[in-house]
Amino acid sequence: MIYRLSKWFIICTTGVLLSACLSTPTQFYVLEPLSEPPSSPTATEKKRQIGIGPVSIPALLERKQIVTRLPDNSVKIAEFNQWASPLKDNITQVLTHNLTTLQAGDLIRAYPWSAYGAVDYRIIIDIIRFDTRQEQSVNLEANWAIMNEKNHTLMSNGHTKIERPLDDPSYPAAVKALNKVLGEFSHELSQALGKI
């Protein structure tokens, strides 16, 4: 009886150790804000308060795993390559930081901004695509609108579509490329804000 129990214990322990050795560790990724120095603030009488959000993303991307589109219109969900925080929150955080850098003359707040009081303008962002095509490209597509919060009028709106080649199929390279297109999108929003 003792022999059977010790044999069973050895088999179970060996199985657990082997499964631990064979499992792949999960890698976690975050999007990072622009690293360029802040622009010099322009001389204005009063800083505008600008709210970023709400930001929406497709249901397909509302998951921890990084999503890659495949040539046959299927998707690859990366179980071992995941976002470290909810993607929508990370995108909002990065856009807020980027616009703070690019719009040094304005005060930028992330949605919800009720703790800071009212904002003068709000940028509503609907992201349609924010993904990679395996070994082909990185894509960002979004509709956006700048609203005057005082009188609820549309000040500016647009449709952004950015596609850049993806030479390295690794996940770190894909995240870096997604970061880059999010930076380009931030510049486009900053230019639109500069015109109102």
Q: 159: which DSSP letter? A: E
Q: What is the pLDDT of residue 14?
A: 52
- Return the exposure string of 76-99: e unless at least 16 CB atoms fall within 10 Å of the residue's CB, then b: eebeebbbeeebbebbbbbbbbbb
Share of the chain above pLDDT 70, in %: 83
What are the pLDDT digits (tens) for 154-181? Answer: 999 999 999 999 988 899 999 999 999 9
Q: Which residue has the higher pLDDT, 134 or 131?
A: 131
Q: What is the pLDDT of residue 20?
A: 45
Identity of the amino acid at 51? G
- Domain at 48-194: CATH architecture: 3-Layer(aba) Sandwich (3.40)
Contacts of 12 (CB under 8 A, 6+ apart): none
Contacts of 13 (CB under 8 A, 6+ apart): none
Q: How many CB atoms lie within 10 A of CB 23?
A: 9
Domain boundaries, the chain: 48-194
Q: What is the pTM of this model?
A: 0.84
Q: What is the pLDDT of residue 85?
A: 95
Residue 49: which region, alpha, beta or left (left: phi > 0; alpha: psi -120 to 50)? beta
Is 138 within 8 Å of 154 (Cβ atoms)?
no
Q: Count of alpha carbons within 13 Å of 142, Cβ hemisphere only?
A: 26
Q: What is the pLDDT of residue 112?
A: 87
